[in-house]
Amino acid sequence: MEWLIASLSGILLFLGIALLAVEMLVFAFSSFILFFVGLACLITGLLMVLGLLPLSLTVAFASVAILSGLLAVLLWKPLKDMQSHVDHTPASGDLVGHSFILTGDVAPGQTINYRYSGIEWRVKSDQVLPAGTEVEVAVANVGEFTVKPKVTES
């Protein structure tokens, strides 16, 4: 039991980092509970390292509980507001503008597959495009290219 008390601050620091990592990497910051408890463990561990809190299990549990509640009250609304802000701007990456020759006919409701960069993409269009047409990617979604005829400048 003495080893637990002697290394309590280190255990709290490790536990805090582990809880924050799980919250961010596994739950993608969707549940704030592990974030609050992890942050409270880090703060409590730091206060114990600095000697501002005594090395005691009772103090550790009480401090983590109080700090978790306090952090939840203070940070819940700002974190929820930050999480609810959604940017609806369509992403524009390197794939938009990529041009290639169609190997099959594409029309509304009719798609073909196109292999690019090691990925099999489903190609669709809002208009009828026969095989052999040079097209460019107008919109790139997950696993899907929306193409339009490439306009050649003369």
State how far the Cα of 96 lies from the Cα of 135, in Å rounded to an integer.
Answer: 11
pLDDT tens for residues 115-148?
998 889 999 999 999 999 999 999 888 889 999 9
User: What is the residue-wise DSSP string for 28-57?
Assistant: TT---HHHHHHHHHHHHHHHHHTTSS-S-H
Highest mean pLDDT among 73-77, 86-90, 150-154: 73-77
Q: Homologous superfamily of 99-149 in CATH?
A: Nucleic acid-binding proteins (2.40.50.140)
The reported pLDDT for the residue numbered 122 is 95
Q: How confident is the model at residue 154 (pLDDT cuts 50, 70, 90)?
A: low
pLDDT tens for residues 49-73?
999 999 999 999 999 999 999 999 9
- How is the chain split into domains, by residue range? 2-84, 99-149
